[in-house]
Structure 1
Amino acid sequence: MSGFRSAPGGGARIRLHPQEAAFLADLARQVATLIADRTDAHDDPVLERLLPDAYLDAPEDAAEFRRFTEDELGDAKVRNAMTVLESVTAEPGAKRVDIVLDAAGVGAWLRSLTDIRLALAIRLEITEEGAPPDLDEPDRINYAIYNWLGTLQGSLVAAIDRR
């Protein structure tokens, strides 16, 4: 992966290996499914982070605010993840996946990459200090994925910043 490059009209483009694209599609699908299938955001720490309470010290106000906003916020997050999923879908046997995003696609990608990284950070217990030092093998791999997504997201920000 070489990272995103600027495209006309506030967009960006990138060329991914089909395995990178499939991997990204799977992550976007997992986050979209988690959010779409939710029953209560407080049942899962990832959902609690992706759909946070607006009022931390006023539970009744938070519940009322959530009642009016959670569905819309959740639906927007699912749409963002589906934008990523649809744009990385490759033809069978493709040697590369060329992705060109318009300005709206850039926004959806940035928001979805943030959601995917937040989900991984919660599962891996990453804090401002970084990952816990005693990660087992699967978690070390997931931490590498978290960092790869950060690099991907950083290249997207840099690409749109160059306009």
Structure 2
Amino acid sequence: MRTWSRRGSGDELRICSNLETYECQLIASMVHSTTEILTERDTSAPQDALSELTGIRTGHTTAPRDLTLGRLLPDFHRPDQDELWAVGTVVADVNGALRSLNEPQIIAAKLEAGRVVLDTLPDGGGDVALTCDEAHEWLTALNDVRLALGAMLGITDDYQCPDPEDPHAGHFDVYQWLTVVQELLVEALMAP
């Protein structure tokens, strides 16, 4: 992958790069995987009569048990964030209510970002020219893929690079590559 660059100005501004075939395939595969688990979560949300009558979608009231989904859809409030909320039942009730009201829209936004990436990836590699809005959607989707991959690898602040013989070493290389792609895209968006 070449770095991202800005071309044009005003409404004609595009954020551009060139991706190899394997890079497009890798991004597409990872975005597909991420959107699949988000779609599963979305379609498994309980249905209630009130949401059917009003058209207001509601989602799950409990956090995902899956580690990857938990990273993509974290609780809104954790007890360690505020000593006053340390009572577990109150926190669970607040998180459940917030999750039920907001999770469908959060998932929809993440799915839309994934769709934009898949729609703008060139078939077989080649040039990518994104509007600023599309570039922001790319950032969202790349971040979601990195979160999912980071959860799978167990990446934390004190994570050590795996030994090259480790079966996850290749996944960590992809994680690092996606980090660079995302960072270069941010730099291109912020450039004067």
Q: Structures share a fold, TM > 0.5?
A: yes
Structure 2 residue 6 is the aligned partner of structure 1 residue 2: no
Please point out which of 107, 117, 131 is paired with 1:84.
Answer: 117
Residue ranges of structure 1 left out of the alignment (5+ in a row) = none
Give the corresponding residue for 1:154: 183
Aligned counterparts of 2:162 and 2:100: Cα–Cα separation in 1: 39
1:103 is displaced (CA, Å) by: 1.0
Aligned counterparts of 1:31 and 1:3: Cα–Cα separation in 2: 24
Aligned counterparts of 2:164 and 2:156: Cα–Cα separation in 1: 14
Compared CA separation, residues 97 and 138, structure 1 to 2 (3 A) = farther
Structure 2 residue 73 is the aligned partner of structure 1 residue 47: no
Q: Scaled by the length of structure 1, what TM-score is found?
A: 0.89
Q: Deviations over 1:71-121 (max 9, x none)?
A: 10011101101111121140xxx4x42111101101101111111111111
Aligned counterparts of 1:51 and 1:112: Cα–Cα separation in 2: 14
Compared CA separation, residues 130 and 67, structure 1 to 2 (3 A) = same
Q: Scaled by the length of structure 2, what TM-score is found?
A: 0.76
Counterpart residue type for residue 150 of structure 2 = A
Choose 1 or 2 for highest CA Rg: 2
Aligned counterparts of 2:151 and 2:164: Cα–Cα separation in 1: 14
Structure 2 residue 40 is the aligned partner of structure 1 residue 37: yes
Matches within 5 A, 1:124-139: 124-131=153-160, 133=162, 137-139=166-168
Give the corresponding residue for 2:105: 72
The 8 Å contact of residues 162 and 168 in structure 2, kept in 1 or not, is answered as: no
Q: Deviations over 1:13-34 (max 9, x none)?
A: 1110111111111111111111
Larger relative contact order, structure 1 or 2 (CA cutoff 8 Å, min sep 6):
1
Aligned counterparts of 2:145 and 2:111: Cα–Cα separation in 1: 11
Residue ranges of structure 2 left out of the alignment (5+ in a row) = 45-59, 80-90
SS for the counterpart of 2:2 is coil
Give the corresponding residue for 1:26: 29
RMSD, matched Cα:
1.8
Counterpart residue type for residue 159 of structure 1 = A
Structure 2 residue 150 is the aligned partner of structure 1 residue 121: yes
